[in-house]
């Protein structure tokens, strides 16, 4: 198995940073990643992996922990199968009516989920993120961000402060960047 050195390291030891090594909890966490019957280049479907999970959980946790401990992520788990997926509207003859979808290996999804859980637990336990960081956090949403913004504006108005804002709609810009990257 060829490997590539990962440059991201957590402070101190990576073995147990925010993670729980209990098999039952890991099985529940892994099983949540595996849904549907999709598979990547390796041909191992999520359904097959989920069914065999009780039998392979121990070596899988060992390999994931070893990967975190050594700071190495297996190169073969970085491969993906990219397929074009037609958008709901438009003709099939135009390339702009398709978007690229990456089908990842089910094993890479398990590795990704374990690393995510460990990092998220570490960041949460050590209170690293700002309280006004709403994106990609559990139990926080755009509604919470909007509510926080409105409350800040109302408090400023109550204190007779001047309030200003610049709002940009970046949806089209992101779509253009994605299309540009896809075409190049």
Summarised one tens digit per residue, pLDDT across range 34-86 is 666 777 788 888 888 878 888 888 888 888 888 888 888 888 888 888 888 88
Residue 3: domain span: 1-128
Residues 53 and 140 in one domain: no
Determine the Cα–Cα distance for residues 22 and 14; give it in Å rounded to an integer.
16
**Residue 138 shares a structural domain with residue 114:** no
Question: Element (H or E) spanning 84, and its range?
Answer: strand 80-86
Give yes or no: residues 175 and 106 share one domain: no
Q: What 3-state class would DSSP assign to 79?
A: coil
Q: What is the pTM of this model?
A: 0.59
> Per residue in 160-176, pLDDT tens?
999 998 887 777 777 77
Tell me how crowded residue 30 is: count the other CB atoms within 10 A of its CB. Answer: 24
Same domain, 17 and 45: yes
Cα dist from 44 to 58, 61, 63, whole Å: 19, 18, 18
The Cα 135–Cα 122 span in angstroms is 17
């Amino acid at each position: 198995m060829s490997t590539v050195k990962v440059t991201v390291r957590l402070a101190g030891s990576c073995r147990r940073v925010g993670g729980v090594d209990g098999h039952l909890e890991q099985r529940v966490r892994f099983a949540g990643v595996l849904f549907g019957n999709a598979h990547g280049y390796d041909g191992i479907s999520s359904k097959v992996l989920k069914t065999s999970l009780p039998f392979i959980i121990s070596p899988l946790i060992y390999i994931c922990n070893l990967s975190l401990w050594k700071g190495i992520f297996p190169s073969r788990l970085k491969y993906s199968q990219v397929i074009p997926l037609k958008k709901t509207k438009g003709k099939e003859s135009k390339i702009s009516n398709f978007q690229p979808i990456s089908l990842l290996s089910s094993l890479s999804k398990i590795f990704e989920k374990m690393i995510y859980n460990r990092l998220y637990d570490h960041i949460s336990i050590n209170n690293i993120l700002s309280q006004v960081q709403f994106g990609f956090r559990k139990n926080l949403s755009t509604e919470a961000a909007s509510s926080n913004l409105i409350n800040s504006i109302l408090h400023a108005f109550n204190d007779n402060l001047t309030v200003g804002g610049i709002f940009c709609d970046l949806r089209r810009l992101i779509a253009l960047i994605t299309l540009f990257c896809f075409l190049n």
